[in-house]
């Protein structure tokens, strides 16, 4: 799948960069390393045993528009980010792993409650951290979803 097909995701839109790496070098990096500034996140891929079923769950809870749909791949769009639900493949399985996307929402507490009522499992209940509220849940297939509101 080419990045040209990347569109836009959930009601969540990152309003500022996740990481501002202004320093010329990360202190733990070798001298020849380059620091890459992350400007924003435009796409999230979620692996699923049943993309159509999982896409329906996300569409029930978030404001999303379908961009593309095949039996193995569904692209959903909102503002500024694309949510791609892709059938499980070699080396990719649904569930908690090393990455958890965080969706910026109007109210973390309200979104968290709606997700839990729709069957999401709690990873982190809404917690106030430095002027922001964060929470995390798992979708029906165990993929993590982070929520953030300022």
Output the pLDDT for position 107: 93
Q: Is residue 19 in a domain?
A: yes
Q: Are 57 and 140 in contact (CB under 8 A)?
A: yes
Q: DSSP secondary structure string, 26-43?
A: -TTS-TT--PPPB----E
Decide if 72 contacts 99 (C-beta within 8 A). no
- φ/ψ (deg, to 5) at 51: -55, -40
Q: How do residues 80-92 score in pLDDT, each as one tens digit?
A: 888 989 888 777 7
Q: Is residue 86 domain-resident?
A: yes
| Domain assignment of residue 103, yes or no | yes
Q: What is the pLDDT of residue 111?
A: 94
The per-residue pLDDT for 139 is: 94
Average pLDDT along the chain: 77
Q: How far apart are CA 136 and CA 138, in angstroms?
A: 7
Q: Which phi and psi angles does 25 have, rounded to 5°?
A: -145, 145
Residue 49 near residue 87, CB atoms below 8 Å: yes
Q: Does residue 30 lie within any of the structural domains? A: no
**Residue 128 belongs to domain with CATH number:** 3.10.180.10
Total tally of structural domains belonging to the chain? 1
28 domain residue, yes or no: no
Residue 48: phi, psi to the nearest 5? Answer: -150, 145
Using an 8 Å Cβ cutoff, are 30 and 97 in contact? Answer: no
Query: 102-104 and 144-149 as β-strands: parallel, antiparallel, unpaired?
Result: parallel
| Domain, as residue range, for 116 | 3-23+35-149
User: Has residue 29 been placed in a domain?
Assistant: no
pLDDT tens column, 55-112: 999 999 999 999 999 999 899 998 888 898 988 877 777 777 767 888 889 999 999 9
Q: Which residues pair with 47 in a beta bridge?
A: 86
Max mean pLDDT range (7-21, 24-38, 119-133): 119-133
Q: Is residue 109 part of a domain?
A: yes
């Amino acid at each position: 799948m080419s990045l040209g097909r990347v569109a836009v995701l959930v009601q969540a839109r990152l309003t500022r960069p996740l990481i501002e790496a202004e320093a010329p070098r990360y202190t733990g990096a070798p001298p020849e390393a380059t620091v890459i500034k992350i400007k924003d996140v435009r796409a999230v891929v979620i692996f699923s045993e049943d993309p159509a079923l999982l896409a329906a769950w996300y569409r029930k809870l978030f404001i999303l528009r379908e961009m593309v749909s095949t039996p193995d791949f569904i692209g959903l769009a909102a503002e500024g980010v694309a949510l791609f639900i892709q059938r499980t493949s070699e080396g990719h399985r649904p569930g908690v792993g090393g990455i958890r996307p965080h969706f910026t929402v109007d109210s973390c507490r309200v979104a968290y409650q709606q997700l839990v009522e729709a069957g999401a499992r709690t990873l982190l209940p809404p917690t106030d951290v430095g002027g922001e509220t964060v929470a995390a849940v798992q979708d029906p297939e165990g993929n993590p979803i982070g929520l953030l509101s300022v």
